[in-house]
Amino acid sequence: MRYIVLDTETTGLDPQLGHRVVEIGCVEIHGRQLTGRNFHTYLNPDRDIDPGAEEIHGLSREFLANHPRFEQKVDEFLEFVKGACVIIHNAAFDVRFLDAELQLLGRPAFSTHCNEVFDTLAQARQMHPGKRNSLDALCDRYGISNAHRTLHGALLDSELLAEVWLAMTRGQNTLAIDAPDEATQGLDSLRARRGLGLELPVARASAEELAAHEAYLESLDKAAKSGSSLWRQLSSPAEALEPATELADQA
């Protein structure tokens, strides 16, 4: 499966009030590693940016006026996400804005251009109920450095979210190739708990314990209608232990 981690920056909070997308950043993940293929663009919204939004991402109308409009980048953008699982933090917000931009051009909704949309905020709330689950909070929780994030930026945030998603999905916790795989560590732990590959001590019965065991079997023989207990009918004690061993392996 091809994964695209996506983030946007906007002029405000509501596309129904005419707010627009001003930045799109996407990074590609394949085989649980960043491929180095990115899509990034600033966009001219042809309108003012709300002061609160500009304070978050630092993009001014003057700066954005020198960049292309959404309709000039839409084909390149949709080609980049085509057929992929798109990972977004608080997907409802970004998808609502992308749908509004596509609607202005008479294009189908964003979800029709990709395989699916996966919301890491919804996943984080399930995994960490009652805790803060912003991107910054998740970076802190999973030990991912975001010290260089002084302002929001679509490409930077998508790169951070890629590392967060890898940690949340319990594969390799960083994008380093030689990082230990938690799945392998979990398998090693399971092997250790079940004694696989370990030299375990064997406690053998003493002469007194064997004599007591024989006396107990004789009492069972006397009680058995056949004159011989089930234990006696087995060829060896090892065979009698096999069913119990099989049940332990399935536990």
Strand order in the sheet with 3-10: 33-42, 21-30, 3-10, 85-88, 116-119
- Of 68, 38, 47, the C-alpha closest to 153 is 38
Tokens standing for 43? 């966009």
What count of other Cβ atoms lies within 10 Å of the Cβ of residue 145? 10
Query: Which is the catalytic residue, given 30, 89, 152, 213?
Result: 152
CB contact burial 57-77 (16+ within 10 A = b; e otherwise): bebeeeebeebeebeebbeeb
**Which residues are CB-neighbours of 146 under 8 A, at least 6 positions away?**
135, 136, 139, 160
> CA-based angle 149:135:50, to the nearest 5?
70
C-alpha span between 152 and 70 (Å, rounded): 20
Tokens standing for 151? 């302002």
Residue type, 9: E
Q: Where are the alpha helices (DSSP H) in 105-181?
A: 120-127, 135-141, 154-168
Q: Is 152 a catalytic residue?
A: yes
Active-site residues, by number, are 152
